[in-house]
Amino acid sequence: MSFTLRVEHLPGVLRIYRVGRADPIIVQHAESNKRPYIHPIAAPDGKGILTEDAPSHHPWQHGLYIGLNAVNGIGFWSEGLGGNKDQDGSFHPLPIEHFQAAGNEASWTVHTEWRDPSGSPMLQEEQTWSFTDRGDYYELDLNWRLTAEIDLTFGQYPYGGLFLRMPFRKETGGDVYSSEGRRSTDAEGQRARWVAVSMPIEGREGPAGIAILDHAGNREHPVPWRVDGQLGIGPSCCIAGEWKLAKGESRTFKYRAVVFCGQIKASFIEQAWKSFCGR
């Protein structure tokens, strides 16, 4: 069963609803002079919220979002809330563009200028999102494009790129599983085609989760992954080593997030990855 979607657009915010439902199932934020991010993402059965915004252990993390470290030595990760405030750059999104909904699909684009601490532009970012409501699960595709305003070196770092923060609680735990069969923090820094995370969610009896799929055409595929102590996950080619963009040069990455109810089913995620990569 799939649902018909509608889009509500306000300055800096895009909300996607199932027609006839009062609460949005996914919300894109792109407020002026702030990092764009997606939160909340509701469970496909409507029971509980699967993302967390600004947790106490990492207040600069926002649901599903993008950040990088060591871009010409500048950080685009901790938003001035970490230990190197003077070395943190800033995000400057334009109004959300190309938003539409048709049937069970919706799409939109967010353009953002990334600036160094002095306010000078370093790169242009384009996030193009496509959302498909499959009824008992969602597919959320990202086409992520970076274009250098100046010559850029992306330094080797333990994390950076697309990242997911779910509402982990130590007392209730959770599960991480990778395409290579690694669980929990054993998947940290290891290469995989996909990584899934599932955990108990407030407002529902069983767990729910999200898998992130790395497209076969991406740099460093199968990419190394960040898996932190609170089960935050993210594909991160910068774990593998330094890379560069010359002024005017662009690079594109493709990812798919699969949002599901229940425990991680590796066969389902594997088939989703094959479908995503046309295999």
Tens digit of pLDDT at every position of the chain (279 positions): 669 999 999 999 999 999 999 999 999 999 999 999 999 999 999 999 999 999 999 999 999 999 999 999 999 999 999 877 889 999 999 999 999 999 999 999 999 999 999 999 999 999 999 999 999 999 999 999 999 999 999 999 999 999 999 999 999 999 999 999 999 999 999 999 999 999 999 999 999 999 999 999 999 999 999 999 999 999 999 999 999 999 999 999 999 999 999 999 999 999 999 999 998
Q: Which residue's structure tokens are 């601490």?
A: 117
Rama region for 98: left / alpha / beta (φ>0; ψ in -120 to 50; rest):
left
Question: How many whole angstroms separate alpha carbon 69 and alpha carbon 247?
Answer: 19
- Three-state secondary structure call for residue 208: strand
Rounded to two decimals, what is the model's pTM? 0.98
What are the chain's domains?
Answer: 5-276 (2.70.98)
**Would you give the distance in Å from CA 277 to the centre of its chain?**
18
DSSP assignment of 84-143 = -GGGB-EEEEPPPEEEEEETTEEEEEEEEEEE-TTS-EEEEEEEEEEEEE-SSEEEEEEE
